[in-house]
């Protein structure tokens, strides 16, 4: 059985969690899971309008969303949350939980500003690992005309070899001898 590293402890007692889920059984299980971690400040919403009202009225550190709501607009809600411009809610970690995760939905979640998408079924261990990972991730928050949310790059390795980056924090990548050689390219992924 896998275990969580002892040095990865997080105190959930003060974490305010917004759960957006209109499925009674699934949301009940998720509430039990996060309560087992010590979370006590959980606001459960069953509609997007209810979730927006709570975001406007209170402070949240973590947002858990079932992507399969009966009403449409989950990705629009995440986009709205990121554009809401009232800290800390616009910076809250957003975990999207989905029963079906085709690539198009993963890309849509990423592009709307979600930190991560989890596939169902979830277990207490998988939820804990993902919440710890989300809390400890070092991606910076990006806000521009077309996107607001965590940097979509999980690793900042700079631009491709031999090219100049377009971001201020891109590190220059000098061209390596044999950079176009498929053998050299394969060695970087080994």
pLDDT digits (tens, 9 = 90+) for 105-147: 899 999 999 999 999 999 999 999 999 888 888 788 888 888 8
pLDDT digits (tens, 9 = 90+) for 1-34: 456 565 656 789 999 999 999 999 999 999 999 9
Q: Global pTM?
A: 0.77
**Structural domains for the chain:** 10-143 (3.40.50.2300), 156-190 (no CATH)
Contact residues for 57 (Cβ-Cβ < 8 A; gap 6+): none
Say if residue 148 is exposed, middle or buried (CB neighbours under 10 Å; 0-12, 13-18, 19+). Answer: buried
First to last CA, the chain: 28
Structure-block tokens of residue 16: 């305010």
């Amino acid at each position: 059985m896998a275990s969580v590293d002892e040095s990865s402890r997080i105190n959930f007692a003060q974490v305010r969690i917004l759960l957006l889920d209109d499925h009674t059984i699934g949301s009940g299980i998720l509430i039990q899971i996060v309560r087992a971690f010590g979370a006590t400040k959980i606001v459960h919403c069953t509609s997007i309008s209810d979730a927006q009202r709570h975001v406007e009225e209170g402070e949240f550190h973590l947002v858990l969303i079932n992507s399969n709501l009966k009403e449409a607009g989950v990705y629009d809600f995440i986009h709205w949350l990121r554009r809401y411009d009232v800290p800390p809610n616009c910076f809250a970690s957003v975990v999207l939980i989905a029963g079906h995760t085709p690539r198009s939905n993963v890309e849509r979640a990423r592009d709307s500003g979600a930190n991560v998408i989890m596939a169902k079924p979830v277990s207490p261990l998988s939820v804990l690992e993902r919440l710890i990972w989300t809390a400890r991730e070092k991606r910076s928050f990006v806000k521009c005309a077309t996107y607001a949310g965590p940097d979509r790059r999980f690793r900042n390795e700079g631009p491709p070899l031999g090219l100049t980056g377009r971001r201020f924090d891109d590190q220059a990548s000098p061209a390596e001898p044999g950079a176009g050689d498929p053998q050299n390219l394969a060695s970087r992924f080994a």
